[in-house]
A and B are shown apart, each in its own frame.
Chain A
Amino acid sequence: MEKYSLKTGLREQTILKDVYFTPPFNLVEVRENKKNPLLEMMVMSSSPGILNDDFYDINIEVIDGSSLNLQTQSYQRIYISEKGTNQHMNISVGVNAYFSHVPHPVVPHKGARYTAKNTIHIKNSSTLLWAEILTCGRKHMGEGELFQFKKHHAITEIIQEEVLIFKDNLYIVPEEINLKEFGQYEEFTHQGSLFFITPETDVIERMENIAQRLSKEEGISYGISKVLDNAYVLRILGNEGEQLYKLFTQIRKEEDYLINQRLRLN
């Protein structure tokens, strides 16, 4: 089992309190402005991707009042596997705490089998920005490796004070499902979802800004909708991982900026 875990601490800014990792992982602090309250961490890996039988076990604790952004270093490749690869990610975000995570797109190679379970516990006063992007595979390699993977099953649950408020069940088995059908991928090859919740009273202004920006973007189809008065889900279909990653990262950076501003004022 391959593991990493981290726990934040709080002084005048968020600090890294506890960190633990086994190969291939390494966790490094990448906070550019050392005075920022928001702790920015990057997960690095010495492995080219998730290999056969890998089981990633990830635990993150963002303690009360602290704020963390977790970044990835590169696209997450999932290699061919017979038995399948797994990832379990458990996150807890405390009272008045902040967590943002927009990982690079996942690239399942031909023959890849992947199962993921992400469980995120938050409080009423937590802020969470969570995103996932799945590509069709190595589209630009040779003649193109599109949807040649075996299985991708990722379940994400967001639980607020013991109540499940959002669940995403992404199950793609290209041999079973014709992804071109109505309601699936239709004419696209990449998909991304972004969930955001804030203790503020509503998210309408944010949703309008995002919708306006996305309406100018070419080659995508998107929808944004309220999950709660103070939470939205954004879904995008597109044809380029980089484009979706940039769009999500921009939203993430705006929220990271806001939290830095707010914490500085306090």
Chain B
Amino acid sequence: MNKITVQPTALGSLIKILHITDPTLPIGGFSHSNGLETYVQQNLVKNASSTQDFVESMLKNNYKFNDGLAVKLAYDFTLKKNLNEILKLDNECNALKAPLEIREGSQKLGIRLIKIYAALLDDPFLNEINKRIEQKKMQGHYSVIFGIVTSILKIDAEKAVCAFLYNAAVGMVTNAVKLVPLGQTDGQHIIHNVEGLIETLTLEILELNRDMLGVCNTALDIKCMQHEYLYSRLYMS
């Protein structure tokens, strides 16, 4: 393998954010709809307007209290090199994700993400986490690994959380464009329209109490569970 040509300097963290949130990062994010496919099949998400409603509600009711907060917590525990708290958090994420496909999807993405970054960074803490996953002592949920990696990469906490939410929004919109279907411009309008919301939620997540981790979205959980029984499926969740 070739070596690094030039070490990134001032723009370093921007490049690193762009890299970890790049949709072409081969972790398999786009094979998961996280419940959206059920909503589309049941004709509840059916046009640009209902897609935006869906994306907004997912961001502020689901991502904020679940994966978004988990990113922030994992980020902080990594700064303190607190492996025990990371293990506890990862297990808590597992216990909070009741729908099977959501739980397994989050594990698959997390494991692929850590495989990539363990190879790129060769960081002792990350290697330790990777070892626990290989030994099946940890599940390796996507949000937790994302928080760990962005912390090791010295990306600012708020930028890491913001990038995670943005990536989630892009993922939902990309899936909606294919599933609903929507025009490409409609999709871009939605991303543009939720940019402010993503910033607001980022700041709220940084202030959230640990007690709020995993607030249940009952109807979403039900739709994600119903996905297991859909007659035809394009997505794994």
Contact = CB atoms under 8 A, between A and B. Distances in A.
Interface residues of A, number: 35
A164 B228 contact: no
Interface in B6-65: 35, 39, 44-45, 53-54, 56-58, 61-62, 65
A73 interface: no
B95 A164 contact: yes
Nearest to B44: A182
Interface stretch (A119-127, A217-225, A255-263): A217-225
Contacts of B229: 211
B217 A233 contact: no
Interface in B215-233: 215-226, 228-229
Nearest to B61: A183
Nearest to A182: B57
A178 to B, nearest CB: 8
Contacts, number: 102
Interface stretch (A25-33, A84-92, A101-109, A168-176): A168-176
B99 interface: yes
> Chain A interface secondary structure, helix, strand, loop or mixed?
strand
Contacts of B218: 183-185, 191, 193, 235, 237
Interface string B78-91: 00000000000001
A16 interface: no
Interface residues of B, number: 38
B54 A182 contact: yes
A170 B218 CA distance: 9
A168 B237 CA distance: 21
B235 to A, nearest CB: 16
Contacts of A158: 95
Interface string A138-180: 0000000000000001010110000111111111000001000
Contacts of B203: none
B223 A223 contact: yes
A223 B39 contact: no
Contact of A222 (B211, B222, B224): B222
B221 A235 contact: yes
Given A182-B57, A182-B58, A183-B61, A167 B96 contact: yes
A186 interface: yes
B92 interface: yes
B215 A184 contact: no
A181 B222 contact: no
A170 B226 CA distance: 20
Contacts of A157: 95
Name the residue in B92, B99, B219 with the highest tally of chain A Cβ atoms < 10 Å from its Cβ. Answer: B219
Given A163-B91, A168-B216, A235 B96 contact: no
Contacts of A236: 222
A226 interface: yes
12 contacts: A157-B95, A165-B95, A168-B216, A182-B45, A182-B54, A182-B220, A184-B217, A191-B218, A223-B222, A223-B224, A237-B219, A237-B222
Interface of B: 35, 39, 44-45, 53-54, 56-58, 61-62, 65, 91-92, 95-96, 98-101, 211-226, 228-229
Given A169-B214, A223-B225, 20 more contacts: A166-B98, A168-B216, A169-B213, A177-B61, A182-B39, A183-B217, A183-B220, A184-B57, A184-B217, A184-B220, A185-B218, A211-B229, A221-B222, A223-B221, A223-B223, A225-B100, A226-B100, A227-B100, A233-B98, A235-B225
